[in-house]
Structure 1
C-alpha cells in the first residue's frame, strides 16, 4: 500500500510542482518577475488532467497479483518453434480463384 501511495504522490508532484514553483517565484519576485514563465503557464495548467488519465496505469502497475497472472498468461501463449515434418499425403490444397481482368 505504501508503494501505491508513493507512486501516486510522485506522479502528482512531478506534474504539479513546476506550476507551483512558477507561481511562488512570481509571488515572491514582485513586479519584476511577474512575467516569469508566463508563456509556459497555460501548458502546465493542462498537465493537471494527465494525472487523472495516468492514475489507472499507476494503480495497475502496483498490483503484484495482476503481474503474476499476466506473466503466467504470457508463458502459456508462447509456442515452441522448431522443425516440423509434413506428410504429403494428408496435405490439402487451397482452391485459388482466378483474378478478374479489368
Structure 2
C-alpha cells in the first residue's frame, strides 16, 4: 500500500497540482503588479503544463485505479487483462513526453516544418511557350 501511494499516486498528483498552481500563481502575480495579462505570452506555458498534466493523468491514472481495485478486493481474474495493458501504457509516458514538449513549442515546430517537410511540396515548373501566327 505504501509503495503504491509513494510511487504512483503522489507523483502523479504532484505533477498535476503543481502545474495548475504554477499557472494560477503567474496570473495572480500579474494582477498584483497591476499589469494587463497578455494571453499570448501565457498561452505557451499553459499549453505545455496542461498537456504534460494530461499525459500523466491519461497514462498513469488507469494503472493506479487498477492497482487500488485489485488491492481492495477485486478478483485477479477480472483485473489480469487490465493490469497487463495498464502496465504497458504506463511506460508510454516516458516515450511520449518529448513529443508533448516538442508539440507545445511553436518555434521548434516551425523549424521542423521548414527543414523536414520541404520534400512534400510540389515544385511547379513554368515553361515558356512561343506561339507563331500566320498573319
TM exceeding 0.5: yes
1:34 aligned partner = 75
Query: Whole-Å Cα distance in 1 between the matches of residues 80 and 98 of structure 2?
Result: 31
- Residues 81 and 38 of structure 1, relative CA distance in 2, 3 Å threshold: same
Count, aligned residues: 81
Q: Deviations over 1:62-82 (max 9, x none)?
A: 1012233345x27xx445525
Q: CA deviation at 1:38?
A: 1.6
Larger radius of gyration: 1
Check conservation: 2:48, 2:104, Cα contact below 8 A: yes
Q: 2:89 aligns with which of 14, 28, 47?
A: 47
2:124 aligned partner = 81
Query: Whole-Å Cα distance in 2 between the matches of residues 24 and 12 of structure 1?
Result: 17
* Highest RCO, 1 vs 2 (Cα 8 Å, sep ≥ 6): 1
- Structure 1 runs (4+) deviating above 6 angstroms are none
Structure richer in helix, relative to its length: 2
Q: What is the TM-score normalised by the length of structure 2?
A: 0.48
Instruction: Give the SS at the match of 1:40.
Output: helix
Structure 2: where are the runs of 5+ without partners? 1-44, 130-135
